[in-house]
Structure 1
């Protein structure tokens, strides 16, 4: 290795919940850690839903996604990992000494002993509304995500889509909007069952199977009406609206990872119970990892992250402890506990 090259024990690709917790836990394992994310901000998919309430993280009372993301980011920095943002990793090369060189789409190179892929569903982009002229309204009242609820207060809101986010947005906007209309091409909604029932039994006007076919503007800059069509009867209707929210899913880009020879399907990589991929020293965690008994919750991503880090540690040093000591007994926290004013006998 050249003296100019810095070798890391583990490089985590992805800065969502799995990647952030992996960065923290690898610090507990005293590993030299780097986190690389294609976005310009850590948080992964959680950045799309800042005002969504998160209920299912153990020991955490209902919390705004934005706040939970901030806390995860803060926790991930506990042991000062190196952070590289705005870099989409495309190429992987295994060197003669068994270490890896990663290269981004812009030419940056990174050297590492192991890799943890915590890339979720890849680099996600919102599927756009495929209607002529739709893009001109993206600066006014055509939305692909809901960053704040307050701008929709007292408005007539039309939501096109039937995924988890569409259902959540409908439920969150229903108490404050003048009217919420949900248009979906299928009878089935992809959200959690309890949330779907809540939406359907609320004042939301839920229409299936319908689709949006045309947008109208009174002033040329904002949408004032939409035409919707019933997919079976071909019936059409015009609806007056103040805002349109589109949730037609996400398009995913896995960059060049499919070309690495890694075993994966359309969305996920296959891993062992130890979160090992078919490539030596390459592990996965979070939504990208697929295995029997997978738990698709943020809490599950944390467990994946810890297991992947432990496997990476043992790959580097087979004689290492299989797991990290719990924080109350981990020597890495002694100094940090003192900084918090915690006496050693109380830690």
Structure 2
């Protein structure tokens, strides 16, 4: 039976910052582009903290994460790539002509000359609180992410954990909550140094090394008190709370691609300075890739995307220019400039 698949130049797997910028830049390079995202929307890991303020993206100082997602998604669509949602890619077949066929878990197939892996941290799942019966409070005042700040206004909030998100949530909630307490089982916190200093010098009550060990409810529906325990001494303390936020990390799932033959560890695929993986025609960008000069910022994800797409272009056409012309001199923008009323 004949197979009728449409061949693309570049297929990007992942719709986070790296994937979205790769889709845009691939359009700048006049490549037929497809982006496949496992979720039903673009944004990647940024969707976890939509109200977080982003300070370290060039040209935006600061910008609310949700707004940055909107801007990146608009930019990604500029050259009309094919966007595919709700498909987790698991299978890979390399054909005799060097092209690849990607297979989704649901059975759909995608044919492409090259691949850019922008998987971020994979299919992410929040690590749940390991306290018996905790799940009953998930519909009331036990939270694993902060989608909006306003519901916490005037509340006594306990944050359990010390990762980047925990620090950011503490800083964002401190001005509006009645009180914010952070209990972390280690003295060292994750996140940017400035954010940690800001948290520690504010009214946030930082308790280390403490672990959240018990939840107490007066009505069986909401948490009204918690017990935190000193990790070294076992000393316990009870705190009155109105809301509990848990940030115990994320569990990632890369099971779909672990059998492809890529050189990778638990969290990353390894690449060279051109973002080439050990497999021909397959490149990587963003949090998923690791290489000698890696920059772990959203701005670094954009640079990764450019390098990966440039390598894909040269793989298909070794005589092509090494990179795209800047937008002020790029023919692909002339019509769009005229539409904006720009005189050239």
Task: State the alpha-carbon separation in 1 of the partners of residues 328 and 191 from structure 2.
Answer: 39
**Contact persistence 1:87–1:105 (CA under 8 A):** yes
Task: Give the aligned partner of residue 84 of structure 2.
Answer: 84
**Contact persistence 1:89–1:255 (CA under 8 A):** no
Question: Any gaps of 5 or more consecutive residues in structure 2?
Answer: none
**Map 1:150-299 → 2, pairs under 5 A:** 150-299=150-299
Q: Greater CA deviation, 314-323 or 275-284?
A: 314-323
Q: Structure 1 residue 315: deviation in Å? A: 0.8
Q: Structure 1 residue 81: deviation in Å? A: 0.4
**Map 1:105-124 → 2, pairs under 5 A:** 105-124=105-124
Task: Give the aligned partner of residue 313 of structure 1.
Answer: 313
**Contact persistence 1:88–1:255 (CA under 8 A):** no
Task: State the alpha-carbon separation in 1 of the partners of residues 238 and 148 from structure 2.
Answer: 27
Task: Give the aligned partner of residue 61 of structure 2.
Answer: 61
SS at match of 1:91: strand
Task: Give the aligned partner of residue 338 of structure 2.
Answer: 338
SS at match of 2:259: helix
TM-score normalised over the length of structure 2: 0.98
SS at match of 2:189: coil
SS at match of 1:283: strand
**Contact persistence 1:189–1:196 (CA under 8 A):** yes
Q: Structure 1 residue 216: deviation in Å? A: 1.2
Residue 70 (str. 1) matches residue 63 (str. 2): no
Deviations 1:134-164 (A, max 9, x none): 1111111000111111110110000000001
SS at match of 1:34: strand
Task: State the alpha-carbon separation in 1 of the partners of residues 332 and 193 from structure 2.
Answer: 43
Task: State the alpha-carbon separation in 2 of the partners of residues 168 and 246 from structure 1.
Answer: 13
Deviations 1:191-220 (A, max 9, x none): 211211111121111111111111111111
SS at match of 1:318: coil
Task: State the alpha-carbon separation in 2 of the partners of residues 177 and 191 from structure 1.
Answer: 21
Q: Structure 1 residue 3: deviation in Å? A: 6.6
SS at match of 1:259: coil
Q: Structure 1 residue 280: deviation in Å? A: 0.3
Q: Structure 1 residue 2: deviation in Å? A: 4.9
Aligned residues: 344
Task: Give the aligned partner of residue 104 of structure 2.
Answer: 104
Q: Structure 1 residue 250: deviation in Å? A: 0.3
Deviations 1:73-114 (A, max 9, x none): 000000000011111101111011110000011111110000
SS at match of 2:329: coil
Task: State the alpha-carbon separation in 2 of the partners of residues 209 and 149 from structure 1.
Answer: 27
Question: Any gaps of 5 or more consecutive residues in structure 1?
Answer: none
Task: State the alpha-carbon separation in 2 of the partners of residues 138 and 342 from structure 1.
Answer: 52
Q: Structure 1 residue 255: deviation in Å? A: 2.6
**Map 1:7-86 → 2, pairs under 5 A:** 7-86=7-86
Structure 1 residues 129 and 66: alpha-carbon distance in aligned structure 2, compared to 1, 3 A threshold = same
Q: Structure 1 residue 231: deviation in Å? A: 1.2
Task: State the alpha-carbon separation in 2 of the partners of residues 40 and 106 from structure 1.
Answer: 14
Deviations 1:261-307 (A, max 9, x none): 10011211110111000000000001111111111111111011011
SS at match of 2:135: helix
Task: State the alpha-carbon separation in 2 of the partners of residues 251 and 5 from structure 1.
Answer: 34
**Map 1:316-331 → 2, pairs under 5 A:** 316-331=316-331
TM-score normalised over the length of structure 1: 0.97
Residue 4 (str. 1) matches residue 4 (str. 2): yes
Deviating beyond 3 angstroms after TM superposition, the runs of 4 or more aligned structure 1 residues are none
